[in-house]
Structure 1
């Protein structure tokens, strides 16, 4: 961690870490506007041995397309909200991912979709679960958030709300794909678990920090193959699979939702970052020499302190280690005011990408990338 001690102040200036966007020390200006963006398309047993060159190329192209869509909006001064929506709708429309078209089947042979969206400015949020006819569930989550009367809608009520808002509705068969249908059939025939047939969790998500310092998180999924009894995973649970707070970070998760709910993953990561930043500030102030009357000889400016990318990574890794200790697998993407987005996953691979105003633009699939 870095701490630059300012000698001219007489009071402690508490500045929200939202304004502390850092790169290397020699380039750092806490007030310079920067943007950062990240996406994921699921985590799991994703290994080179299980991917043909054609599949590898197709997934990378899809990830790059979604990444570029959001990055373009941010680079042109657009909002984090618009960037997240642009990326997720593209992935919902792509049958390679388990969200929207291409969603997995429930035990009964239906496609039931979940999505959530959260705005870090005021922590407004919208979430939906168990919808079957809404073409882009992330757009429905946005309408729930904008309406403001409720946060979480489900099933038929959520679909009625979608119709009232004029969202595009489709026949349920629109979401069905043969590979997903075969996964359900194999699960039933061989009495396998969802993990055995899914191999990976294809949930999609995006997180963004825009030039105004606002952060947004969004996530969309079809859940687990063969899910039963109206099962709801972590994606639409605010604070678990989706969370954003301008004071700390924005998080989107993918994995075994039951464990992410129990660990409150999204909220835990943001709280961990807040604690780390506050502790760094307190430790720096405690190290200031005292005058003969026992008063600090200078006051540390919060505006001149920030977390390294490695510090953000450490917090995300610690929360994912907690998920692993509970028995869960998956991953997260995290964007913060402190620099580039980070990824953390405890699986062999994760479909992912990140871009920044500093020129970073990269996608990855395997754990060794």
Structure 2
């Protein structure tokens, strides 16, 4: 009798173990079933972007540029390319457009120059590259990628960065290439406001911040995240000012364990808050979701510091967030099934 009872207990335990294993397997499948094979999202700056201030023609122009850019990265990912390549090539399109404050459309410094900052980061290795204060490199994000891949450093600046760019065979242009009439008029308007004390140095620039920084974040089929950011900085900036865009952890961050982030907004506050890294840290150390972490940082922590702006971010499962506390942000997303979303205004 005793032996029969022991046998019954063993059979029961084996049965329960089998059930538990089956349940665990189901849970894993359930948790990963919604994971995107790949995803990509972009931003073209956050600020005073309002529907009542934009004509239908201009809105269509922005939509066309955003769609063209994100489709470049989408096709790279769809064909098995890396998230780094998708981020870089997508940002190239935005840098070549005069609509955005990066590359061709960069805003002017107080002295009447166009100075560029950019960064890129690999979520798999945590390797990163950045450049600041360049005036002749056609596509600053290409320089950031070269710094990451071809140098022992993370950030290069000014004339040294331009020398490195030439040595790497990157396209160099005359400073006049970046000059656009619209951005020059913006500088004149800000200077007039400053002279008449209508607005402070920073406030005046924020009125023009709709011509903002560009950025991209992506997840590829290999499970790797990447992010990149490129900018012309702040209208009327002086004394070699550098914002958050080339600062790893502030303007750009990527980590396969958490997320990839690109920031846009009032750079001084994004640096103080280390916004991009803070979102990742909240996910890693507090267990917050990407949505929860992004909302906390952009809607609470950043405004408490006195800053405004937004971020785009994607986690290791392909979940995407576009969080901003301004009146609008140029943005677009594409998922593995080809769904395209383009947004500009807060609504």
Considering fraction of residues, name the structure with more helix.
Answer: 2
CA distance in 2, matches of 1:245, 1:162: 27
Q: Alpha-carbon deviation of 1:197?
A: 4.3
Whether contact under 8 Å (1:201, 1:255) holds in the other structure is no
| Larger RCO: 1 or 2 (CA < 8 Å, sep 6+) | 1
1:66 equivalent to 2:69? Answer yes
Instruction: Choose the corresponding residue for 2:33, options 24, 29, 32.
Output: 29
1:96 equivalent to 2:74? Answer no
Q: After alignment, is 351-360 or 96-105 more displaced?
A: 351-360
**Which residue pairs with 2:9 in the alignment?**
none
**Which residue pairs with 1:169 in the alignment?**
172
Residues 296-307 of structure 1 aligned to structure 2 (within 5 Å)? none
**Which residue pairs with 2:301 in the alignment?**
322
Residue by residue over 1:134-174, the C-alpha shift from the partner in whole angstroms, topping out at 9 and shown as x without a partner, is 00000000000002411010000000000110100000000
Q: Alpha-carbon deviation of 1:33?
A: 6.6
Residues 185-204 of structure 1 aligned to structure 2 (within 5 Å)? 185-191=188-194, 192=199, 193=201, 194-204=204-214
CA distance in 1, matches of 2:211, 2:279: 21
CA distance in 2, matches of 1:360, 1:217: 20
Secondary structure of 1:135's counterpart equals coil
Secondary structure of 2:304's counterpart equals helix
Instruction: Choose the corresponding residue for 1:334, options 274, 293, 313.
Output: 313
Whether contact under 8 Å (1:183, 1:197) holds in the other structure is no
Whether contact under 8 Å (1:117, 1:141) holds in the other structure is yes
Whether contact under 8 Å (1:204, 1:220) holds in the other structure is yes
Q: 1:272/1:232 Cα in 2 relative to 1: closer, same or farther (>3 Å)?
A: same
* Aligned length in residues: 319
Whether contact under 8 Å (1:201, 1:254) holds in the other structure is no
Q: Alpha-carbon deviation of 1:269?
A: 0.6
Instruction: Choose the corresponding residue for 1:256, options 253, 256, 266.
Output: 266
**Which residue pairs with 2:8 in the alignment?**
none
Query: After the TM superposition, which segments of 4 or more aligned residues of structure 1 sit over 2 Å from their partners?
Result: 6-9, 25-30, 192-197
Whether contact under 8 Å (1:33, 1:213) holds in the other structure is no
Residue by residue over 1:296-331, the C-alpha shift from the partner in whole angstroms, topping out at 9 and shown as x without a partner, is xxxxxxxxxxx8xxx321210101121111111100
Secondary structure of 2:262's counterpart equals strand
Q: 1:151/1:355 Cα in 2 relative to 1: closer, same or farther (>3 Å)?
A: same
Q: Alpha-carbon deviation of 1:195?
A: 2.8
CA distance in 2, matches of 1:64, 1:33: 20
Instruction: Choose the corresponding residue for 2:240, options 230, 238, 241.
Output: 230
Q: Alpha-carbon deviation of 1:78?
A: 1.0
Whether contact under 8 Å (1:33, 1:212) holds in the other structure is no
CA distance in 1, matches of 2:305, 2:160: 34
CA distance in 2, matches of 1:33, 1:358: 9
CA distance in 1, matches of 2:36, 2:50: 38
CA distance in 2, matches of 1:147, 1:70: 23
Whether contact under 8 Å (2:48, 2:207) holds in the other structure is no
Residue by residue over 1:161-212, the C-alpha shift from the partner in whole angstroms, topping out at 9 and shown as x without a partner, is 0011010000000001011111111111221434354142510000000010
Q: Alpha-carbon deviation of 1:341?
A: 1.3
Secondary structure of 1:218's counterpart equals strand
Q: 1:339/1:215 Cα in 2 relative to 1: closer, same or farther (>3 Å)?
A: closer
Secondary structure of 1:40's counterpart equals strand
Residue by residue over 1:266-305, the C-alpha shift from the partner in whole angstroms, topping out at 9 and shown as x without a partner, is 111111112344xxxxxxxxxxxxxxxxxxxxxxxxxxxx
Q: 1:70/1:219 Cα in 2 relative to 1: closer, same or farther (>3 Å)?
A: same
**Which stretches in structure 1 are left out of the alignment for 5+ residues?**
1-5, 13-19, 278-306
CA distance in 2, matches of 1:68, 1:196: 30
Instruction: Choose the corresponding residue for 1:344, options 317, 320, 323.
Output: 323
Instruction: Choose the corresponding residue for 1:105, options 108, 113, 127.
Output: 108
CA distance in 1, matches of 2:145, 2:275: 22
**Which residue pairs with 1:57 in the alignment?**
60
CA RMSD of aligned residues (A): 2.2
